[in-house]
Homo-oligomer: A and B are copies of this chain.
Amino acid sequence: MSTVSRVINDTGYVSSDSRQRVMKVMEELHFTPSNVARGLVSGKTSSIGLLIPDVSNPFFSDVARGIEDAASTLGLSVILCNSDWKIEREQTYIDILKGKWVEGIVVVGARSSEQQLQSVLSGLPFVLVDQRSTQNVSCVWIDNELGGYIATKHLVERGCKRVMHVRGPANSPSAMGRHQGFLRAVAERTMSGKFISGNFRFESGYAAMGKILDDGLPDGIFAGNDMMALGMIQAAQTMGIKIPQDFLLVGFDDISFSSYISPTLTTVRQPGYLMGKSGVELLNQQIAYGHSKPQSREYQPELVVRNST
């Protein structure tokens, strides 16, 4: 019924008499308008997709929370998709999301290349979060290179002579950026910058500590993220190595646990919640204003000094 539609959407002319009658009946029948039917006719489903490696990872769960909060404010629902960093799962989820006519997708820390995403999504708005765009795509990111530089410089300024980096996985742009920042800071002082590779997980930080000890302990270590730093702290504790007495340690991310652990961890803050929130805002602009020019939002990495240095 047209009049019912007008009442629900508060559009057009409706006499207050009809309005009241309609409202009363809706109340009685516990009537909830169908978003599905609405979506079919209008093409707007008020849903967006969230493609993220793993919500149970503390950094990503922060991002996810920011995304859901912002989306909720805009009246958008979020469909959660965990890709586990697998391109194949990313593609599968994208197909599903397309079938659901989501209005856009927030892609967090994806493995698929931008070309892949663009071609698969074929026109569906999307935003990259925690990843810089080289093409013409909206994105939210921080300058990982600068972050790596800041972290390393902090170690040097604290008087470290031999610094090391435990970097993230080879195929991660973030890990790459931080590593380059590390190398730049090291080069400035004509120091050598040794590094070993991890996978961003606690266990790999724990394991790294063993390898490092074999090579002789440096006096400063920059860990590619907080989870690995926590692993290193735990390993050091087990080995009787003291932080910051025996070496200084800097992490990256500033997940909440970094300030809950002992020693509290000096780290480079990445505002996950905010980045998620911004991602949705940019996405919403694309959705609302059609194919406007893609925008990027860059956050500055920020050193948070705590007890580990």
**Which residues of A are in contact with B by a Cβ distance under 8 Å?**
30, 32-37, 39-40, 45, 47, 50, 54-56, 58, 61-62, 64-65, 68-69, 72, 77-82, 95-96, 98-101, 122, 202, 230-231, 233-234, 237, 256-257, 260-262, 273
Contact = CB atoms under 8 A, between A and B. Distances in A.
Contacts of A78: 79-80
A231 B40 CA distance: 50
Contacts of A231: 260
26 contacts: A32-B98, A34-B99, A35-B96, A36-B36, A36-B39, A36-B40, A36-B101, A47-B79, A54-B65, A55-B55, A55-B61, A56-B61, A56-B273, A65-B82, A69-B82, A72-B81, A77-B79, A77-B96, A77-B100, A79-B80, A202-B260, A230-B257, A237-B262, A257-B260, A261-B261, A261-B262
A95 B55 contact: no
Given A36-B39, A72-B81, A233-B262, 18 more contacts: A32-B95, A33-B99, A34-B101, A35-B96, A36-B36, A36-B101, A40-B40, A47-B79, A56-B61, A56-B62, A65-B82, A68-B82, A77-B81, A77-B96, A79-B80, A230-B257, A257-B260, A261-B261
A58 B230 CA distance: 16
Q: Copies of this chain, how many?
A: 2
B45 A202 contact: no
Contacts of A261: 234, 260-262
A161 to B, nearest CB: 27
A55 B45 contact: no
A32 to B, nearest CB: 5
Q: Which 7 residue pairs of A and B lie closest in terms of their CB atoms, listed nearest first?
A: A56-B65, A35-B99, A61-B61, A80-B80, A56-B61, A35-B100, A36-B39
Nearest to A100: B35
B65 A55 contact: yes
Given A61-B56, A237-B262, A122 B77 contact: no
B50 A122 contact: no
